[in-house]
Amino acid sequence: MTTTRIAAIDVGNDSLKGVFGKLESEVNIPNVIARDIEDRPIIGIEELDAQSPLDGIHIRVHSPTLKDNNAIYRVGNLATKSTNSTELDPGSSKSEEDQTLVMLFASLALDAAGHDGFKKNNKVIEANYTLGTGLPLREVKEGKDVGYRSKLLGSVHQVEFLVTPQYQGVKVNIRFDEVKVYPEGFAAFINLVMDNNGNIINKELIDKRILIQDIGGLSTDIAVIKDRKVDDDKAQGFNLGVSESLELIREEIRSRHGVELDSRRDVVEIITKKSDRNHIMVKGSRTSVHDIVDRIMLELAKKQYRHLRNMWQKNSQTEICYFIGGGSSVLKEYIKTLNNNLDGYNIDFFEDEKESIWMMVHAYYKLISDYVRKSEKADKVKEEQKLAKSK
């Protein structure tokens, strides 16, 4: 009998977050890839294995699900240093992009290479996963979750580590025993009301009418929670995230100060770091970019607030709106200020930024773990009934 390992993965527009097994392993990889050659040049090849695999993900990916099969990529931190790196573009569908799949397979291969429970023969690992993941509400409403799930099931997806620290030459064959694709808004609600063992917590939220505004890199989803489930007819998705604003900030910093930032993630670090927030180094001098950041982010916050206002007007009995996602962490203070000066809605943010950013992947973990528990219980009942009949 093959061993299946639980994986919960959120392929966010800024970064991929994943948790595996019994939460003993987690990974966070910038959602950046770059096409590359097989023998990428490296200085100090003899010191390669002293580095973290996360800093040198260099892989060939073979999968029938990919439009560009058998291609070689730099992924994550390594890709941010490339001149040809790509990030997901506004308006793109997460379920239809090769980049989403490359990131997903890379994270699973990293976990498999560091896990002892899979069968391994001559540097080839056979890895079976039960996966919980998700898509934006907009894509689920369009039925794209069905196609995305079928892409993953029924095929073998191979990741070959090339010039990657510690894993050079390792091949991972990935198979899925089950794939559950959840709408992101519903997953966020589950995370608020369920613990890792499937028990109900925060009982006061169960029967409330709630909005959940999930601000991501490329899109915003607003889930309407009523009677303990997402109201599909009222839930809405918008092609409005923080990525475009981050690019504007990055471009203005480049044109005004001559400083080239590698990726959007560098911009996020500048505007969220605990000390010296909104400052960069220009020719060795500490320089404020506060005016650039404030102007561009306030404009985005106003657009997000208009979506909140419109949704609340259409769902007038809403009791609270929770803001989640990486974009919410970046826009939190701007939205709070607007709300205090304007409508004064009952809104809430998660003060722990990691909790907000990792909320979706923790929700997928709770949902897929609950599915596995129920499946195992059902299998046990069937086995008992079978034994009873044979007596």
pLDDT in tens, 4-21: 999 999 998 888 999 999
What is the per-residue pLDDT for 46? 57
Quote the tokens at residue 303. 């657009």
- Does the pLDDT of residue 167 top 70, yes or no? yes
Sketch out the chain's domains with CATH numbers: 4-41+48-183 (3.30.420.40), 243-293 (no CATH)
Inter-residue contact 225 to 231 (CB < 8 Å): yes
Q: Which of 2-6, 125-129, 132-136, 215-219 is modeled with the greatest confidence?
A: 125-129
Pick from 305, 170, 158, 145: nearest CA to 240: 305
- Does the pLDDT of residue 287 top 90, yes or no? yes
Query: ∠ CA 16-55-126 to the nearest 5 degrees?
Result: 65
pLDDT category of residue 85 using cuts at 50, 70 and 90: confident
What is the per-residue pLDDT for 45? 58
What is the per-residue pLDDT for 228? 75
The answer to whether the predicted template modeling score (pTM) of the entire model surpasses 0.95 is no
Inter-residue contact 290 to 298 (CB < 8 Å): no
Distance between CA 224 and CA 81 in Å, rounded? Answer: 40
Higher model confidence: residue 61 or residue 243? 61
Q: Over range 25-51, report the average pLDDT.
A: 82
pLDDT category of residue 196 using cuts at 50, 70 and 90: confident
Q: Is 215 exposed, middle or buried (0-12, 13-18, 19+ CB in 10 A)?
A: buried
- Does the pLDDT of residue 185 top 80, yes or no? no
What is the per-residue pLDDT for 373? 92
Lowest model confidence (mean pLDDT) among 26-35, 158-167, 272-281, 307-316: 272-281
pLDDT in tens, 31-43: 999 999 888 877 5
Higher model confidence: residue 382 or residue 34? 34
What is the per-residue pLDDT for 78? 92
Quote the tokens at residue 281. 């180094």
- Does the pLDDT of residue 147 top 90, yes or no? yes
Distance between CA 226 and CA 102 in Å, rounded? Answer: 36
Q: Which of 43-47, 129-133, 278-282, 327-331 is modeled with the greatest confidence?
A: 129-133
What is the per-residue pLDDT for 2? 66
Query: ∠ CA 109-112-115 to the nearest 5 degrees?
Result: 155
- Does the pLDDT of residue 63 top 90, yes or no? yes
What is the per-residue pLDDT for 160? 98
Q: Over range 111-126, report the average pLDDT.
A: 94
- Does the pLDDT of residue 353 top 80, yes or no? no
What is the per-residue pLDDT for 314? 94
Higher model confidence: residue 387 or residue 67? 67
pLDDT category of residue 391 using cuts at 50, 70 and 90: low
What is the per-residue pLDDT for 36? 92
- Does the pLDDT of residue 238 top 60, yes or no? yes
Query: ∠ CA 34-36-41 to the nearest 5 degrees?
Result: 120
Q: Count of CB atoms within 10 A of residue 297's CB?
A: 22
pLDDT in tens, 309-322: 999 999 999 999 99
